[in-house]
Amino acid sequence: MNTTIDIQIKQTSQSKLPGTNFENLSFGQVMSDHMFVADYKNGEWQNFSIEPYAPLALNPANATLHYGQSVFEGLKAYKNENDEVLIFRADANQRRLNESAERMCIPPVPEEIFMEGLAKLLEVDRNWIPSNPGCSLYIRPFIFATDDYLGIRPSLTYKFMIFTCPVGHYYAKPVSVKVETKYTRAAEGGTGQAKAAGNYAGSLYPAQIAQKQGYDQLLWTDGKSHENIEESGTMNVMFIIEDTLITAPTSKGTILKGITRDSVLTLAKEKGLKVDERFLKVSELKEALETGKLQEAFGTGTAATIAHIYKINVGDTDFELPEKPKDAFSYQVLETLDAIKYGRIEDQHGWITKV
Ligand code: COI
C-alpha cells in the first residue's frame, strides 16, 4: 500500500510471540506486540507512530477518566491459505468510528490515517494473525479525550490508537438470554447508536444481575415502553419466525449499526430469505416461543460472529429453543461469512481488503 502519512516505527526487542499459545486463544486477553498511535492537537491529527504495546501515562484529571469522551471499534483480520492478510469491512468500521465520534464531539479520523495506520500495524505484527481454524486477529481502534481539565466541554486534544489481539471464539457455546424490561440501555435521542465507552459501562449492572440468575446476556428492550426487542449487550439479535428473519431497525438511533448485522442481512436476502427490519414485540416473541413458530434466534457481531441462542427468558418463563437442523440459516450464513473472511470463496461484495 502507498502511504500518504509518515509513520515512525519503533519495534519491540522483546516479542511476546514465543510465549503465546495460539492453540488455546480466548477473547481479548493477549495483546499483540505493537500499537498505532496518533495525537490530535491544534485542530489536526499528527505524530503517527507504531510503538511497542505498553501502558499509557495519564494525568488523573484526564477528561476520559471522568466524562467518558471516548469511542471505539472492533474488526478482524484473517489469513488465507496463501498466508495473505485479509481485513473484513475495514471501510465500514472507519465510517462507523467517525459517526460515533461525531455524536461524542470527537474529531473524525480521516480514512487514510485509519487505513494506513492499520495496514502498517498489521505488517509489523503479521505473525500475530492466527492461522488456526476459527481464530482471527481482533482489531481495536479507539479515540479518547486527553485534555487534563475538569470543566465540562469537548476536549481539545485526543489520541487515536489501534491495538490488536489474536482471538478465538467470544462465545464458545450457544448462549442464553433474558429479556430486560426494567433497565434501559438506550433512549431515542441518546447515544445508543454510538460505539461509545459509556454505553457499555451502563449496561454492566443489569447484565450482571442476569448473569447471577444464570443467563449469558440480556435482550434489551426500548427505553420508552419496554415492549420492543432492540439488541443484546454484545451483539445485534435476529429471529427467524416461520419463514421471515426479523431484526430491529437502526432508524431510531438506539441500536448499534452492526457491520456483521448488515453482512448477514445482505447474505440473507441473497439466499432468498424474507427479511423484515422491524421491532419484534416482546409479546410476539413470547407467542412465537410458545407456539414453536420461532425457528432460530442468534446474535451477530464482530466479536460474537454468529452466536446461537439456545434459551430465552421472557417474564418469568424460560423457553428452550428446539435443536436447529444442520442446514439452519444461522449455520449457513456463518459458513458463508467465514468462507469470505478466510478467502475460501470470492468476495463479491467488496468486503475484503488485502494488505
Ligand atoms: C465487537 O464485537 O467488536 C464489540 O465491540 C463487542 C464487544 C463485546 C467486544
Together in a domain, 145 and 216: no
| 339: in domain | no
CATH of the domain at 79: 3.30.470.10
Q: Is 44 a domain residue?
A: yes
The answer to whether the CB of 301 is under 6 A from ligand 1 is: yes
Query: Which residue has the least CA distance to atom 9 on ligand 1?
Result: 303
Are both 68 and 151 inside the same structural domain? Answer: yes
State whether 140 and 240 are in the same domain: no
Q: Are residues 164 and 181 in the same domain?
A: no
Range of the structural domain that residue 52 is part of: 8-168
User: Measured from the CA of 72, which atom of ligand 1 is nearest?
Assistant: 5
pLDDT under 70 in the chain at which residues? 1-2
Cell triple for 318: 424460560
133 and 159 belong to one structural domain: yes
Which of 118, 149, 168 finishes a domain? 168
Residues 204, 154 share a domain: no
**Does 2 map to a domain?**
no
Number of the ligand 1 atom closest to the C-alpha atom of 28: 9
Helix 90-103 vs helix 259-270: crossing angle, to nearest 10: 130
**Residue 3's pLDDT is what?**
78
Query: What is the CA(297)–ligand 1 centre distance, in A?
Result: 19
Q: How many structural domains compose the chain?
A: 2
Q: Would you say residue 353 lies in a domain?
A: no
157 plus 102 within the same structural domain: yes
d(CA 200, CA 328): 31
Q: Looking at the domain assignment, is residue 3 inside a domain? A: no
Same domain, 232 and 263: yes
How far, CA to CA in Å, does 273 sit from each of 164, 241, 244, 321?
Answer: 35, 11, 7, 20
Which atom from ligand 1 is nearest to the alpha carbon of 195?
Answer: 5
Helix (H) or strand (E) holding 196: none
Residue 350 counted as domain residue: no
Pocket test for ligand 1, best of 27, 193, 232, 235 (most atoms within 8 A of CB): 235
Domain assignment present for residue 124? The answer is yes
191 lines ligand 1 (CB under 6 A): no
Task: Return the CATH number at 200.
Answer: 3.20.10.10
> 192 and 51, same structural domain?
no
Residue closest via CA to ligand 1's atom 7 equals 234
Q: Which of 105, 139, 168 is the last residue of a domain?
A: 168
Ligand 1, atom 3, residue with closest C-alpha: 74
* Whole-structure pTM value: 0.97
Q: What is the pLDDT of residue 88?
A: 98
Among the candidates 137, 168, 199, a domain finishes at 168
Residue 348 lies in a domain: no
- Separation CA 143–CA 145 (nearest Å): 7
Q: What is the pLDDT of residue 1?
A: 65
Ligand 1 binding pocket mutation candidate from 164, 234, 236 (most atoms within 8 A of CB): 234
**Of 176, 178, 279, 162, nearest in space to 224 by CA:** 279
**Residue in the block written with cell 451502563:** 202
| Centre of ligand 1 from the C-alpha of residue 303, in Å | 5
Q: Is the CB of 302 under 6 A from ligand 1?
A: yes
Same domain, 65 and 125: yes
Q: Could you tell me what percent of the chain has a pLDDT over 90? A: 95
> What does the pLDDT look like over 191-245, one tens digit per residue?
999 999 999 999 999 999 999 999 999 999 999 999 999 999 899 999 999 999 9
Is the same domain home to 179 and 161? Answer: no
